């Protein structure tokens, strides 16, 4: 116990500003790596947690240059279906537009538009066939409120439509030629299959950085475990088109994880394979030797983690990332800094310490696209966020797997290493990504770095004191200290009381 090593985390260090040759933040290229062959223009992956990543989060991230890692706490067929949904997603194309029946009242339609936050509804019959479209301007008051959608909609005969698979350029031309805002997509039986909107196409043009495979489809990764049905799951996910598999185990530096990595590597030599989590140089090297194309690093830094409290084990995250990145420096296997990122400053520090990208849970859990349940308290919207080793997550899993058994008894058999909490609703994930990427560019400019390689090479860290850390927080303005500066980590019950 005499020569104990020092472990540092994000709050213990700052990056020393350097003379910069960058004239604008836009000169900084944020492209990073998730694995050997998967490059991300925005070096952010979402955590494979059941309150963070399902297909909506994956689509939203990949469209903006990041990557979603689908969680594995669902049946194999459902996870494979989610991979397919991302791979089939056509940008600028709404696969499941909001619909309404022709007999509904106009006031019910108005309520639906408000609650779903859409500006039109497609009117369909019981078989899903297109009957018309109802726009916001058709919602004029109708006196006694008994008018039906059929009486106000623009009927099918007057609509211009397209067929599934229409090229986006052709859709654009149709919208322009007919001065339309919406182009319903119908099949040969006139069944509604999607919607292309002027608004979405315009947004698409602003998003050239999307993460795509060689065929232009969005990238998606998916998690598997290291025991039980993991090989069957891996096979189904690869078959569905997953670009990367993530072997997800709390203590990744274990014989179990290494054996699982070797088996999955042998079963699927072509797929990108990420394995984790580890926190030491030896762990990173062993996983790379077992065939990992990317190594996930982080034992205990996550916002909903209690591993360090429960097991007393872990490594502060800056030290862990830096040690693992150095251990893999002579390979092309990147490190994914997983957990503990609370703001763009932490992201810059993780990448400067050697990570190829960061994995984020808490910061993304409050977004529209996360699958977490929404709760409203005191007029504020929150979303549930829970550690995957929390009792609540375990209960949800058992509910699915052990139908009819005494869940309380099962619950007593495990010691949780995570908590359940709520995070404030934060709007679309696009806003969070924009702020994180903007902060990253700023950090790169302070380090005179045009690329993440330059950031790593140029970065000079300084260790700071607790007084130094406090100085860096907004002060004298207590009201401005928000949840984003200090993540909420109270148990759900306490927060909702």
Interface residues with ligand XMP (CB under 6 A) are 47, 49, 277, 298, 300, 302-305, 307, 338-341, 359-362, 387-390, 417-418
Give the chain's length: 497
> Which strand ranges, in their side-by-side order, compose the sheet holding 420-424?
374-377, 380-386, 420-424
The token duo for 221 is 């990764």
Answer whether 321's CB lies under 8 Å from 282's CB: no
Q: Write down the least CB distance from residue 307 to ligand XMP, Å.
A: 4
Q: Write down the least CB distance from residue 389 to ligand XMP, Å.
A: 3
Selection from 452, 346, 347, 336 nearest residue 36 by Cα? 336
Q: Per DSSP, what are the bridge partners of residue 296?
A: 276, 336
Q: Write down the least CB distance from residue 417 to ligand XMP, Å.
A: 4
Q: Between residues 12 and 138, which has the closer beta carbon with respect to ligand XMP?
A: 12
Q: Between residues 272 and 338, which has the closer beta carbon with respect to ligand XMP?
A: 338
d(CA 299, CA 243): 25
Q: Are strands 244-248 and 192-197 parallel, antiparallel or unpaired?
A: unpaired
User: Which residues, at least 6 apart from 475, have a Cβ–Cβ distance to it below 8 Å?
Assistant: none
d(CA 103, CA 416): 51
Answer whether 314's CB lies under 8 Å from 308's CB: yes
Q: Between residues 306 and 458, which has the closer beta carbon with respect to ligand XMP?
A: 306
Q: Write down the least CB distance from residue 189 to ligand XMP, Å.
A: 44
d(CA 371, CA 53): 7
Q: Between residues 268 and 362, which has the closer beta carbon with respect to ligand XMP?
A: 362
d(CA 21, CA 31): 19
Q: Write down the least CB distance from residue 340 to ligand XMP, Å.
A: 5
Q: Between residues 9 and 331, which has the closer beta carbon with respect to ligand XMP?
A: 9
Q: Write down the least CB distance from residue 308 to ligand XMP, Å.
A: 8
Q: Between residues 192 and 242, which has the closer beta carbon with respect to ligand XMP?
A: 242
Residue nearest to ligand XMP (CB): 418
Q: Tell me if residue 305 is catalytic.
A: yes
Residue 198 C-alpha from the chain's centroid? 26
Answer whether 320's CB lies under 8 Å from 338's CB: no
d(CA 256, CA 249): 9
Residues designated as active site: 305
């Amino acid at each position: 116990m005499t020569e104990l090593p020092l472990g540092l985390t994000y709050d213990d260090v700052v990056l020393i500003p350097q003379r910069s040759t960058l004239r604008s933040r836009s000169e900084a290229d944020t492209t990073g790596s998730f694995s050997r062959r998967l490059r991300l223009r925005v070096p952010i992956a979402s955590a494979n947690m059941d309150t963070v990543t399902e297909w909506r989060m994956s689509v939203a991230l990949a469209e903006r240059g990041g990557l979603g890692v689908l969680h594995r706490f669902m049946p194999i067929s459902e996870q494979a279906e989610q991979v397919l949904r991302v791979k089939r997603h056509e940008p600028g194309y709404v696969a499941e537009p909001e619909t309404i029946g022709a007999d509904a009242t106009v006031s019910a339609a108005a309520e639906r538009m408000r609650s779903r936050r859409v500006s039109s509804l497609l009117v369909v019959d019981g078989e899903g066939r297109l009957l018309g479209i109802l726009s916001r301007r058709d919602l004029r008051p109708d006196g006694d409120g008994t008018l039906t959608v059929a009486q106000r909609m623009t009927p099918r005969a007057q609509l211009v439509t397209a067929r599934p698979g229409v090229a986006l350029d052709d859709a654009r031309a149709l919208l322009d030629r007919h001065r339309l805002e919406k182009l319903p997509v119908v099949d040969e039986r006139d069944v509604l299959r999607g919607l292309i909107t002027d608004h979405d196409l315009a947004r698409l043009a602003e998003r050239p950085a999307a993460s795509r495979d060689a065929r232009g489809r969005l990238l998606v990764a998916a998690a598997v475990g290291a025991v039980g049905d993991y090989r069957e799951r891996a096979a189904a996910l690869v078959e569905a088109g997953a670009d990367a598999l993530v072997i997800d185990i709390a203590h990744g530096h274990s014989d179990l994880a290494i054996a699982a990595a070797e088996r999955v590597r042998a079963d699927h030599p072509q797929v990108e394979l990420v394995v984790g989590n580890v926190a030491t140089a030896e762990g990173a090297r062993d996983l790379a030797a077992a065939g990992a194309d990317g190594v996930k690093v982080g034992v205990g830094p996550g916002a909903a983690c209690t591993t360090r409290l429960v097991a007393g084990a872990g490594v502060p995250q800056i030290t862990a990332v830096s040690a693992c990145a150095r251990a893999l420096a002579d390979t092309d296997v990147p490190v994914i800094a997983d957990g503990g990122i609370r703001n763009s400053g932490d992201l810059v520090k993780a990448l400067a310490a050697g990570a190829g990208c960061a994995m984020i849970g808490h910061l993304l859990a409050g977004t529209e696209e996360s699958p977490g349940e929404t709760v409203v308290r005191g007029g504020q919207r929150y979303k549930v966020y829970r550690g995957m080793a929390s009792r609540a997550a375990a209960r949800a899993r058992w509910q699915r797997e052990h139908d009819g058994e005494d869940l309380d008894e099962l619950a007593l058999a495990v010691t949780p290493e995570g908590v359940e909490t709520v995070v404030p609703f934060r709007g679309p994930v696009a806003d969070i990504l924009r702020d994180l990427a903007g902060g990253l560019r700023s950090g790169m400019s302070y380090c005179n770095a045009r690329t993440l390689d330059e950031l790593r090479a140029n970065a000079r860290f300084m260790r700071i004191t607790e007084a130094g850390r406090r100085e860096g927080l907004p002060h004298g303005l207590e009201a401005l200290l928000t949840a984003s500066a200090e993540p909420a980590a109270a148990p759900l019950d306490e927060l909702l009381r």
